[in-house]
Amino acid sequence: MTNIYYDKDANLELLQDKVVAIIGYGNQGRSQALNMRDSGSENVIVGSVRDTSWEKANQDGFEAFSIEEACKRADVIFMLLPDEIAPAIYEEKIAPYLEEGNVLNFSSGYNVTYNNISFPEHVDVVMVAPRMIGKAVRELYESGEGFPAFLAVHQDASGNALELAKSLAKAIGSTKKGAIEVTFNDETYLDLIAEQITWPLIMSVMSEIYKVQIEMGHPEEAVLMELYMSKEPAIMMEKMADVGLFKQLPFHSTTSQYGQLAGFNQVDTTYIRDFIKSKYEKISSGDFAKEWSEEQEKNQSVNFKKLVDGAFSHPISIAEEKLKSRLK
């Protein structure tokens, strides 16, 4: 059974005399830095370039340094940079300053899974990856509810990496809800599966339902409202998280329950399973990571921009804007 760690399992005293450098003061970086300080970590600094994030860190009461200087000073380094730029910055500005006893903490397994970043043998490499957007990481900490996270140890140079990872998880607020022990590969694959399988399937279903209902002569405004713009599906998803995928059904009428369950059992999942397996193979083999790197390096993200433009000019996007302009 997978380990899940809570507040009682973690010791914040392990961080008492450590300097923690937050590298990347974006949505996650800012929230995690503020949470750590509020948990009692007095030596939190920020490593950044001199942009608005630097200014924001100063406004929030943190000392901001260049990435190199922050890493020189740090015992614990939070790698909170975008996946696509992290390897180059790590190689140039972080790796040269790593010392024995340092801890590298990631919020994403991506670059470790695909060997885009390598480590000296004398540092701990751990991951505390919130399963929550940055804004909510802060809000849920402040409310006392906390948020779930994935926790992993990739390299245990000190012999105490797991305990340090648990203390970091507690400091940012995730052991209040539960930090689930995984591997870096687990986090990478599960994250990419959501992005490349789960949501594309959901978006495709929504798009096709929209098209068919419009073809049947139903008003586009009513179709969009029933599909998702009423936010009823968002509430259903919240109830699924609270009580269960199927156990939320009693919140619906018996007509709705019967229709949902009967339809669920009639769906031919052959195509869905084939799609999932083909995408999973592309993720686990590293083919997607290679494709994404080539897209950025060789194509300068031209294909990505075309995909975004196509999505934003999709008939459903245009219909959404028209409806939103008419709603109060």
Q: Is 4-182 in CATH node 1.25.40.10?
A: no
pTM (2 d.p.): 0.93
Q: Look at residue 145 and tell me whether its pLDDT is greater than 80.
A: yes
Answer yes or no: are the C-beta atoms of 151 and 128 closer than 8 Å: yes
Taking residue 91's Cβ as centre, other Cβ atoms within 10 Å add up to 13
Checking 118-121 for CB contacts under 8 A at 24+ apart, the result is 119/155, 120/95, 121/155, 121/157
Instruction: Report which residue type is found at 110.
Output: Y
Dist. CA 186–CA 248, nearest whole Å: 28
Other beta carbons less than 10 A from residue 53's beta carbon = 17
Q: Where are the domains of the chain?
A: 4-182, 187-326
> How high is the pLDDT of residue 50?
83
Residues 6+ apart with CB under 8 A from 36: 15, 20, 44, 171, 172
46-64 confidence digits (pLDDT tens): 999 888 889 999 999 999 9
Residue 244 in this model has a pLDDT that exceeds 80: yes
Question: How confident is the model over 174-229, as pLDDT tens digits?
Answer: 999 999 999 999 999 999 999 999 999 999 999 999 999 999 999 999 999 999 99
Query: pLDDT (tens digit, 9 = 90+) per residue, 13-56?
Result: 999 999 999 999 999 999 999 999 999 998 999 999 888 889 99
CB distance 227 to 210 below 8 Å: yes
